[in-house]
Structure 1
Amino acid sequence: MTAALKRLLPGLLAAVLALVLSLIITSLVLLVSGAQPLFAFGQMISYGAQPDSIANIINNAVTYFLSALAVAIGFRMKLFNIGVDGQYRLAAMVAAVVAGFVPLPPVLSQLVTILVAVLVGGLWSGIAGLLKVTRGVSEVISTIMLNFIATGLVAYMLQRGRFAVQAAGSNNIGTPTIPPSGRVAGLPLIPGTNTTIFGLIILAVLAGVGYQILVNRSRFGFDLRATGLSASAAVASGVSVKRMTLTTMIISGALAGMVGLPQLLGASYTYSLDFPAGLGFTGIAIALLGRNNPIGIAFGALLWAFLDQSSLILDLNGIPKEIVIITQGTVVLCVVIAYEVVRRLTLRQQQRAVGRELATDVPVAEGAAA
């Protein structure tokens, strides 16, 4: 067995164990509610495999993925940015105002809109980082309060006479519609069908690659992970914990600013009262599900989006769709428990290997080779 496979095996075992446990618990809940688990799962898989469902799953997963990345980079430094929800909504609102009121040529318009969203999200999250490094305010408390303030600011700006206009033939209000030159066209999913996915899926892929390089292949990432493991040890090695805290919160907010862009530029073209909310809190669960790894987060986002989409068929079959919410919560809890169990078993195995080496005074590798 190669060294790389040995490192991956505990994580794979934990993921499989968590999935099995969550399926067992969900099956028990279905039985208690009077539904047949195999029938319910079959209906969910059949509905989720339809072309339109696949497109919706991927589109939802794109936003979930970006939200989870914003949370994950904070987790790597033991920072809990619970304000992603407010950061992305405020960023999307301001970006929609700029794109709607200031028409620009293609490409330049999209770049300016993305830049505005990133800057607003980063600056809003930076407030929490600044409070933490200068006044010692917990980022959990400050980001929760900033969520409420962001909600109030969006509500204030989204009024007629300020930055909102009345939608034609509707009681809904929103920012001026983004002109075609500022939109991002969808990408075809299946040839011969009308199903498309967000064109900004490319932005999500680039964000994931950038996250991986920044966290695991750069000096900044090493300092970030070192600070998260032990702030005192990081200080001893010359790392400024305050600078790392502020910078990480700004980067987390910048990623959060991207969350609403796929929907804004690829589907709604305006920020209105019905713009998707709550994506920041979903990102927390998916970041835990993916263990702060971009590949794990991608699979977690797809799983979460699949459960969201496939729940729509349950009501039609007389099965409460709230079962899916139970499944989602169970998956997260099982993942946390499974990884902890596997971690302890792996640690115990390593301790036994070291004990055998010390008892026999023969290196483990040499004994295994013999």
Structure 2
Amino acid sequence: MTSPNPAAKRSLRERFDGERILLGLAAPVLAVLLSAVICGVLLAISGKNPFDAFQVMWDYGTASDGQVLTLNRTTTYYIAGCAAAFGFRMNLFNIGVDGQYKLGALFAAYVGSQVDLPAVLQIPLLLVTAMLIGGMWASIAGLLKVYRGVSEVISTIMLNAIATAVVGLLLVPGIFAPGNGGGSSNAIQTAPISQSSHFFAIPTAGGDLYGFLFIAIVIGVAFQFTLSRTKFGFDLRATGRSETAAKASGVNVKRMVITSMVVSGAIAGLIGLPELMQHSYYFGQSIQPGLGFIGISVALLGRNTPIGIAFSALLFAFLDVAGTRLPLRGDFPQEIVAVMQGTIVICVVVAYELVRRYGLKRQQQKVGAELAAQAAAAAKKEVSA
């Protein structure tokens, strides 16, 4: 029987290094704990018992209806996090996710209200429509960066404002909103999408669980597979770490920038569809604002990895859902949830830097110990000789 390859054993050991896993988990856990402490102090200063507030959130968040609402919102937040993270892995800051998902949801809602195909065709049509619109809108920032050197941060922020104006321009009677027969009322929503556009739901004791959860899972699996198992994913990670080194190795950096922005925008286009196809069935005031910026926070906390984003999205969704009970039970301020989410984002930056420095120090200690051991072994061999 042949002995295992030492190189393979070393590679396996490095892949499942317990210390590296703990260091990877330390930063987000530390950020959440720091945020909880800060919010607890703020609640105490305002005259409220922080432990009672956290207990109210926990009780509702773990109840059956709270769990369903949390998972439904996690679905949306996860897609938003993946959209932002895809750009981040390329070292591109796609701040325009908010505008991309609004336009994607608006056009999908309009197509869904005008076309009524069998569900097996209608649902993919809406998904493709949203992805195409989101990708096309994001490509503007990619093209500006590649051919005019415009920072994607600036261009995507401006495109958010333009997208909001475009939505307002199109969402009027006679264009994307139903006509009012010449009346003077201003419609602020599209017509309801057709019955065949409704995505399936899973009945549970706590309510209907969004079937779109499976779409989110597919996005996460495809994201991970692309990053770790494809040439495009390797080129994306290489370009994100060093454009100069990637260009020297033959990577077309300009094409990678444009493609990454398009893919990020295409994922962003899907963010509003769980609400559209499973709850409201039209685009209007019911569409939750600010999802793009929540996605950025979720991606940062999840370290831009599909698994990390899943836990991060679950945490943010839990805080949002459970926080709705604070004013109803004990007259706690619901704003503490927004404070907690904001402090998590700030604390995670600090925590990642602390963990990075500790990890670097530990690595230096290990290298020093190995060199000392090698030197001692060489000296012992020399003496024995």
- Hey, what does 1:231 align to over in structure 2? 243
d(CA) in 2 for partners of 1:206, 1:96:
22
Among 125, 135, 147, the residue aligned to 2:160? 147
Q: Identify which range, 253-262 or 274-283, moves more after superposition.
A: 274-283
In structure 2, relative to structure 1, the CA distance for the partners of 1:37 and 1:2 (3 Å cut) is: farther
Indicate if the aligned counterparts of 1:44 and 1:313 stay in contact, CA closer than 8 A.
yes
In structure 1, runs of 5+ residues without a counterpart are 365-370
TM alignment of 1:1-370, pairs within 5 A: 3=14, 4=16, 5-165=18-178, 173-188=188-203, 190=204, 193=205, 195-316=207-328, 317-362=330-375
Indicate if the aligned counterparts of 2:66 and 2:206 stay in contact, CA closer than 8 A.
no
d(CA) in 2 for partners of 1:357, 1:12:
26
Amino acid at match of 1:62: T
d(CA) in 1 for partners of 2:179, 2:375:
79
d(CA) in 2 for partners of 1:16, 1:83:
28
Q: Secondary structure at the match of 1:313?
A: coil
Shift in Å, 1:351: 1.2
Q: Secondary structure at the match of 1:196?
A: strand
In structure 2, runs of 5+ residues without a counterpart are 1-11, 378-385
Indicate if the aligned counterparts of 2:79 and 2:267 stay in contact, CA closer than 8 A.
yes
Q: Secondary structure at the match of 1:123?
A: helix
d(CA) in 2 for partners of 1:244, 1:98:
31
In structure 2, relative to structure 1, the CA distance for the partners of 1:171 and 1:42 (3 Å cut) is: farther
Deviation digits for residues 184-221 of structure 1, max 9, x if unmatched?
A: 12112x3xx36011111111100000000111221111
In structure 2, relative to structure 1, the CA distance for the partners of 1:153 and 1:39 (3 Å cut) is: same
Indicate if the aligned counterparts of 1:212 and 1:294 stay in contact, CA closer than 8 A.
yes
Q: Secondary structure at the match of 1:326?
A: helix
d(CA) in 2 for partners of 1:342, 1:163:
50
Provide TM-score, normalisation by structure 2: 0.89
Indicate if the aligned counterparts of 1:99 and 1:109 stay in contact, CA closer than 8 A.
yes
Amino acid at match of 1:261: L
Indicate if the aligned counterparts of 2:319 and 2:337 stay in contact, CA closer than 8 A.
yes
Larger radius of gyration: 2
Amino acid at match of 1:177: P
Indicate if the aligned counterparts of 1:160 and 1:166 stay in contact, CA closer than 8 A.
yes
Shift in Å, 1:172: 5.7
Amino acid at match of 2:276: L
Task: Give the % identical residues.
Answer: 50
Shift in Å, 1:181: 1.3
Shift in Å, 1:59: 1.1
d(CA) in 1 for partners of 2:339, 2:44:
14
Over the aligned positions, Cα root-mean-square deviation in angstroms equals: 1.9
Indicate if the aligned counterparts of 2:171 and 2:187 stay in contact, CA closer than 8 A.
no
d(CA) in 2 for partners of 1:106, 1:359:
68
Shift in Å, 1:334: 2.0
Shift in Å, 1:171: 7.9
Deviation digits for residues 268-305 of structure 1, max 9, x if unmatched?
A: 11112332211001101110010001111111111111
Q: Secondary structure at the match of 2:28?
A: helix
Indicate if the aligned counterparts of 1:172 and 1:273 stay in contact, CA closer than 8 A.
no
Amino acid at match of 1:195: G
- Hey, what does 1:368 align to over in structure 2? none
d(CA) in 1 for partners of 2:298, 2:271:
14
Provide TM-score, normalisation by structure 1: 0.93
Shift in Å, 1:357: 2.9
d(CA) in 2 for partners of 1:79, 1:363:
47
- Hey, what does 2:8 align to over in structure 1? none
